[in-house]
């Protein structure tokens, strides 16, 4: 019974860890954009973005998040960052 409970716990932890990483990435990108807005390096229209891809490296276990600038609801290709 303990093995089943432990495996269930690990499974739930694994499922929710991806959501936590995504939330941290979103917060990190928002903080960076906010800082650029405060320093007047960006206008509010320039600070719109959308996550295009994210994955975790099997070798280093580092989470990679890629995002793209959005203007008037349209993604602008060639503005990818990670």
Within-domain flag for 34: yes
Using CA atoms, how far apart are residues 25 and 31, in angstroms rounded to an integer? Answer: 10
pTM: 0.55
Per residue in 71-82, is it b (16+ CB within 10 Å) or e — as a string?
A: eeeeeeeeeeee
Domain hosting 35: range is: 2-75
Q: Please give the Cα distance from 18 to 68 (Å, whole number).
A: 20
Residues 6+ apart with CB under 8 A from 36: 42, 47
Domains of the chain: total: 1
pLDDT, position 7: 59
Residue 82: inside a domain, yes or no? no
Report residue 74 as tokens: 């349209």
- Does residue 81 lie in a domain region? no
pLDDT mean for each 10 residues of the chain (82 residues): 52 48 69 76 73 82 81 77 68
Report the distance separating Cα 69 and Cα 74, nearest Å: 8
């Amino acid at each position: 019974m303990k093995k089943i409970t432990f495996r269930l716990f690990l499974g739930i932890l694994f499922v929710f860890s991806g959501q936590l990483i995504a939330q941290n990435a979103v917060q990190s990108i928002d903080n960076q954009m906010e800082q650029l807005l405060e320093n007047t390096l960006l206008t509010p229209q320039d600070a719109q973005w959308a996550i295009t891809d994210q994955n975790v490296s099997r070798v280093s276990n580092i989470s990679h998040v890629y995002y793209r600038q959005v203007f008037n609801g349209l993604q602008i290709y060639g503005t990818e960052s990670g």
